[in-house]
Amino acid sequence: MQLRILGDRYVSGTGVPKDEAKGFYMVMNPALKGEAEWYRQAAEQGNADAQLMLGLGLITGRGVSKDQIHGLEWVHRSANQGNLNAYRALGYMYARGIAVRADTHKAADWYREAIAKGSEVARKEFEMLELPKKIAISPAAVSPIDELTAPTSLRELRRGESLL
Per residue in 65-75, pLDDT tens? 889 999 999 99
Per-residue pLDDT at 9: 76
Indicate if the pLDDT at residue 16 is higher than 50. yes
**pTM higher than 0.75, yes or no?**
no
pLDDT averaged over every residue in the chain: 76
Domain boundaries, the chain: 1-66, 83-164
Q: Answer for the pair 99, 90: CB distance below 8 angstroms, yes or no.
A: no
Reported as a single tens digit per residue, the pLDDT across 101-155 is 999 999 999 999 999 999 898 898 899 887 655 455 544 433 444 333 333 343 3
